[in-house]
A and B are shown apart, each in its own frame.
Chain A
Amino acid sequence: MKPPHLTTELLIQKFVRHLAIFAGVALIFLMLLIVYAVVMRYIFNSPILWALDCARVGLVVLVFFGLAYCGLTGGHIAVDFLGAFAAPRTVQLSDIIIRSICFLLVGLMAWQSMVQGLDALDLGEGTNELEIPLFPFFAVAALGSVAYCAVLMIQVKRAIRGQVLDDHGES
């Protein structure tokens, strides 16, 4: 049987991958929606204005549900000065502090997304054409940020255990 902290890590990883799959579905939805809107405008001379609304909220799902996956797979760009010059112990200590600050910031972002979402609920904010309520999508933003917080928590724990963290990104 795996130790409890590894079971938690596996559960978080599984959850983050599921969110990423949702994000992938949102991506396919966006592609088909844009093509449908183009076809309707050019072939059937019938522009669909609501496509813009659906695309906007689809993008929210794609971005925020992919955020934690990007963090989990080391995708967020970082500059590795310290790793090249400092002793492993210094790098480890720095990683623990830096990832904890990241955890706080992303946590704050999640909390503020929820605050903004509640404001949107109170004010009845919605999209322009279909008036799709924005509140659930602020909740999506908060959930995606919380998932990224969980990934950062894993990274802090890994840094405490002495594992090397790696963010490289791409251009």
Chain B
Amino acid sequence: MTPTIVGILGLLGLFVLLALRMPVAIAMAVVGTVGFGILNSWPAAMAQLGREPFVMASSYELIVIPLFVLMGNLSSISGMSRDLYQAAYAWFGHWRGGLASATIAACAGFAAVSGSSVASAVTMGRVALPEMRRYQYGPRLSTGCIAAGGTLGILIPPSTGFVIYAILTEESIGRLFLAGIFPGLLLTTLFMIAIYVQCRINPELGPPGPRTPITQKFAMLGKSSAMIGIVIITIGGIYIGAFSPTEAAGVGAFLALLLAVVRRRVTTSAMNDVLLRTVRTTALVFFIIVGAHIFSPFIALTNIPEDLAALMDEQAMPRVATLLIILLAYIILGTFLEGFAMLVLTLPIVHPLILALGYDPIWFGVVMVIVLEMGLISPPVGVNVFVVKGIAGDIPMRDIFMGILPFWLAMGICLILLVMFPQIALFLPNTMIN
């Protein structure tokens, strides 16, 4: 059997195991170990199974994951989300669909301290949904904007999506974080435009609220200054080269803890909950990374990435056509595969292909995360949709998915803009100090 045949059988086996509900990390480790054993040697496969998890779990660079997750979870209990929402409402509330726009702005703000889309959707959903109900916003708009706004959590740094991409492709976490800033702001703006257009067509969807005096606007912004300060210190610190991403995460988590203490939000049960949630997410992410690191050497031995690149070369397709096929495949995969799973399962094959096509891997990381975001709100397995459903129990799933559609299209526009103008993502990392 040629290595390519073994590789194809391995991929088929992987999809069967996944379809039979095996956890993604274990499915990758099973296929990776067996495949490596066949193509290399069984003692080497066994040694890899014992060594690789330890190597990953003792990597200094990866400490960034638990610390940024901790920062996000501490921010959730510190009451920052409510302050952010009130500040955003003071500034945008008088617009058509102002509460929905405020939700998006607050989600973007919260995304800057949280790397998780689910955490962003849960936190902002609990604050924003009751308010939008009180002002009789259309259920489709109110749930759609929370589900979509939550996805900003993995685009605006810090982002667990970027960290996993960086680990799997050996790219710089700091550069990827910075690359996410402008696309994140662009997507936030596109989401707000989507809300404005919907409310322009049907004003009853989101009636404008009262105008807030300018002094109060600044007062509200001032209340969020602590959070803004944390964002500036952490992300700004990475940009100017003062901190490594790991140091920025540690300092950010510590400041978020201080803020929670000052605001008297730290109780034994709250802290217990924050720590256990962080431990759980950390284990989840690390186990996925371990699975991917056991799977990747097997894929490398199969020559599948090289064969695919050669095939693309033979077809003599324009490189942008190849890129569009890849993106389309990701959008379709995203409708039934979980985001992290999609990332780790496909990157060992797609990343070499992207490099062969001459695309910038940092830029592709941003594009991938946006496609991943689209998957988070796509039927039938959009995780954020289920999160919103959990908060807004009485709103039918069909309405939530219908409400998401305009935001999904906005993501598509953002993707097109990024393909046309890669500098949107690459400008900041290219000007980064150190």
Contacts and interface: CB of A to CB of B under 8 A. Distances in A.
A42 B258 CA distance: 20
Contact of A171 (B21, B33, B253, B339): B339
Q: From DSSP, what is the main secondary structure of chain A's interface residues? A: helix
Residue from A21, A27, A137 with most neighbouring chain B CB atoms (10 Å): A27
A52 B60 contact: yes
A9 interface: no
A77 B62 contact: no
Interface stretch (B45-53, B212-220, B296-304): B45-53
Contacts of A122: none
Interface size grouping (class) on chain B:
35 or more
A31 B250 contact: yes
A81 B58 contact: no
A57 B58 contact: yes
A76 B160 CA distance: 15
A85 to B, nearest CB: 9
A62 B278 CA distance: 10
A23 to B, nearest CB: 4
Interface in A147-171: 165, 167-171
B113 to A, nearest CB: 15
B276 interface: yes
Nearest to A112: B50
Given A35-B251, A78-B24, A27 B281 contact: no
A69 B276 contact: yes
Contacts of B284: 70, 75-77, 169-170
A76 B24 CA distance: 8
B260 interface: no
Contacts of A111: 50
Q: From DSSP, what is the main secondary structure of chain B's interface residues? A: helix
Interface string B91-126: 000000000000000000000000011110000000
Contacts of A114: 50
A12 interface: no
Contact of B281 (A33, A75, A168): A75
Interface of B: 17-26, 29-30, 33, 46-47, 49-51, 53-54, 56-60, 62-63, 66-67, 70, 116-119, 154, 160-161, 242-243, 246-247, 249-251, 253-254, 257, 272, 275-276, 278-284, 286-288, 336-341, 372, 376, 380-381, 383-384
25 contacts: A21-B276, A24-B278, A31-B250, A35-B250, A55-B60, A55-B246, A59-B60, A63-B56, A64-B57, A66-B280, A75-B284, A76-B25, A76-B26, A78-B18, A78-B21, A80-B21, A82-B20, A98-B17, A101-B22, A101-B26, A113-B50, A113-B54, A137-B58, A167-B21, A168-B383
Closest 3 CB pairs of A and B: A112-B50, A34-B250, A24-B275
